[in-house]
Amino acid sequence: MSLPRVHEISIGGIIAEPGSSRRNLTGGWRSLKPVLHDDRCIRCRICWLYCPEGTIKEIKGEFVVKGKKYQYKYEIDYDYCKGCGICAHECPVKAIEMVPEA
Amino acid sequence: MKVVYRAIWDLPVEELFASGHRACAGCGPAIAMRWITKAAGPNTIVVNATGCMEVTTTQYPETAWMLPYLHVAFENAAAAASGIEAAIRTLSAKGLWRAGKTNVIVIAGDGGTYDIGLQALSGMLERGHHVLYILYDNEAYMNTGIQRSGATPKYAWTTTTPVGKAIRGKVQEKKDIMGIVMAHRVPYAATATIANLLDMTNKIKTALEYTEEGPTFLHILAPCPPGWRYPEELTVEMARLAVETGYFPLYEYDHGKVRLNPPTSQIAADPKRKKPLRDWLKLQGRFAHLTDAEIAELEREVAANLAYLSALAKAFS
């Protein structure tokens, strides 16, 4: 990592770019990995609600799972997921499984 | 409380608290921050006292905030927010403020509210600034390594209240911060937890609406896995059990009226619905040393607190 030179740092140390922490991929912290089984998911939005990192992505579209039509699908952003397991613990149908990171 | 979000599907989708922050896995306050920013919306200025959420979200030169954000010291978060609010009011009067109705929110931990920032908070409430003060309570100074604060409950282990022969964890009881805030006769003050997110987001919306009249206050319980010593997947469960066992009652103070919110109102009406406090204590390492007599004592204190709040709700309904 190269550090900025003193004249490149803004006065007062302000950070001008909002949400720049996205450059820091926290996925490497994980020892357990959540795997979402889409066939068991009932689209209740609870994992999305409680994720401290905001890594559960809600994807809109037409999804047919086991003959049922859904307008949403949930995916986990493994770049930032720290593997805390709150989603797996809170899931009412146990559609999220925590597996050891390979 | 005004009900803005009726169901989980009404909640805002736009993320204003970016991923990649350095909070621990399973961080309770991080869930609170995500929903505070979502409920408050983009036209908001956040003033953050030093604490876990400042240290983990703004590691220079990066920030997780997607809102105008000011970091100030432990002592003066409320004072700095008062200044921002006064500046907005003056600029609006001169016609120079073009951003419309801007929310000013203070976010401070329990150390920055119960102990160090109490004087600035009291001053802000007394002067009547139009600011929402949000306290996220993880019940100790977690960011410096679990030292006791005014918010730490009785008998809890921390590094400065060790468990031994002479003392059994913290000797004193948790301070009633809501009582202190209510004594300032603010328009609105409420308690919330990260487990009851619909309740919490509605309270944020209500509080922001009432900041037109004066200062408002929100006390959010946000469990901390390393400090409370429990497995990180239980964060939301911990907050939920804290309410269901009666340890952390959900209630609001609205223009002089005190109202218990569900599920606390149901517990107060029918004590059989209250879960035993042991269910919540036994999951936490900080209470692992408790004897049956000590648990019974804490249980009596919880019941007394619920009875006090029920009487308050009855007297000021």
- Measure CB to CB from residue B19 to each of A4, A18, A55 and give the nearest one: A55
A18 part of a folded domain: no
Per-residue confidence (pLDDT) for residue A2, from 0 to 100: 81
List, in order, residues 6 or more apart from B295 with CB less than 8 Å away: B277, B278, B281
Which tens digits make up the pLDDT trace of B195-211? 999 999 999 999 999 99
pTM of the entire structure?
A: 0.94
Residue-level pLDDT at B162: 94
E strands, chain A, in order: 32-36, 56-65, 68-76, 96-100
Burial of B304 from C-beta contacts in 10 A (0-12 / 13-18 / 19+): exposed
Q: What is the ipTM of this complex?
A: 0.91
Of B21, B57, B233, the CB nearest to A84: B233
Residue of B19, B54, B63 for testing the chain A interface, max A β-carbons within 10 Å: B19
Quick check: is A3 in a domain? no
Considering only CB atoms, A21 lies closest to which of B9, B62, B233, namely: B62
Q: What is the pLDDT of residue A68?
A: 86
CA-based nearest distance B189→chain A, Å: 24
Under the banding of pLDDT at 50, 70 and 90, the label for residue B288 is very high
Question: What pLDDT sits at residue B283?
Answer: 95
B48-72: pLDDT as tens digits? 999 999 999 998 889 999 999 999 9
The structural domains of chain B, ordered by start, are 13-315 (3.40.50.970)
Q: Where are the alpha helices (DSSP H) in chain B?
A: 28-40, 52-57, 77-93, 110, 118-127, 177-182, 197-210, 225-228, 235-244, 264-269, 277-281, 292-315
- State pLDDT tens for residues B5-51: 999 999 999 999 999 999 999 999 999 999 999 999 999 999 999 99
Contacts of residue B190, Cβ cutoff 8 Å, sequence gap at least 6 = B1, B203, B206, B207, B217, B218, B219, B250, B251, B252, B253, B261
Yes or no: say if B138 and B224 are a contact pair by the CB < 8 Å rule. Answer: yes
Nearest CA in chain B to A85: B233
Give me the residue label for tokens 């956040």. B46
Residues of A in contact with B200 (CB under 8 A): none
Using one digit for the tens of pLDDT, what is the confidence trace for A69-89? 889 899 999 999 999 999 999
Q: Supply the pLDDT for residue A12.
A: 84
| Residue A67 counted as domain residue | yes
Average pLDDT over residues B104-133: 95
From residue B65, alpha-carbon distances to A68, A102, B171, B194 in Å are 38, 32, 38, 19
CA dist B95 and B92 (Å) reads 5
> Which residue of B11, B198, B233 to mutate against A (max A Cβ within 10 Å)?
B233
**Chain A residues touching B7 at Cβ < 8 A:** none
Domain count, chain A: 1
Q: For position B275, what pLDDT does the model report?
A: 93
What is the structure's pLDDT at A5?
86
What is the rounded average pLDDT of the residues B233-247?
A: 95
In this model, does residue A1 exceed pLDDT 90? no
Residue A9 domain-assigned (yes or no) = no
Mean pLDDT of chain B: 94
The two structure tokens encoding residue B276: 């035993």
Asked if B131 and B117 count as a contact pair (C-beta separation under 8 A), the reply is no
> B201 to chain A: nearest residue by CA?
A49
Task: List B103's β-bridge partners, or say none.
Answer: B44
State the average pLDDT over residues B187-194.
96
How do B132-137 and B257-260 pair as beta strands? unpaired
pLDDT for position B213: 94
B232 contacts A18? CB cut-off 8 A: no
Note the pLDDT of residue B159.
Answer: 95
> Residue B285's beta-bridge partner residues?
none
- Which domain range does residue A94 map to? 26-100
- Mean pLDDT, range B111-115, rounded to an integer: 93
**Residue B141 neighbours by CB under 8 Å, 6+ apart:** B109, B111, B147, B148, B149
Please list every residue in chain A whose beta carbon sits closer than 8 Å to the beta carbon of residue B28: 52
Nearest CA of chain A to the CA of B179: how many Å? 29
CA-nearest of B78, B87, B85, B143 to B107 is B78
Whether residues A58 and B236 touch (CB distance < 8 A) is answered with no
Name the residue among B9, B61, B232 with its Cβ closest to that of A84: B232
A83 within a domain of the structure (yes/no) = yes
pLDDT of residue B60: 84
Q: Do B19 and A23 touch (CB under 8 A)?
A: no
Task: Give the model confidence (pLDDT) of A31-75 as tens digits.
Answer: 999 999 999 999 999 999 999 999 999 999 888 888 888 898 999
Q: Are strands B103-109 and B44-49 parallel, antiparallel or unpaired?
A: parallel
**How confident is residue B308, by pLDDT bands cut at 50, 70 and 90?**
very high
CATH assignment at residue A78: 3.30.70.20
Supply the pLDDT for residue B3. 92
Contact: A24, B67; criterion CB under 8 Å: no
Interval B106-112 mean pLDDT: 94
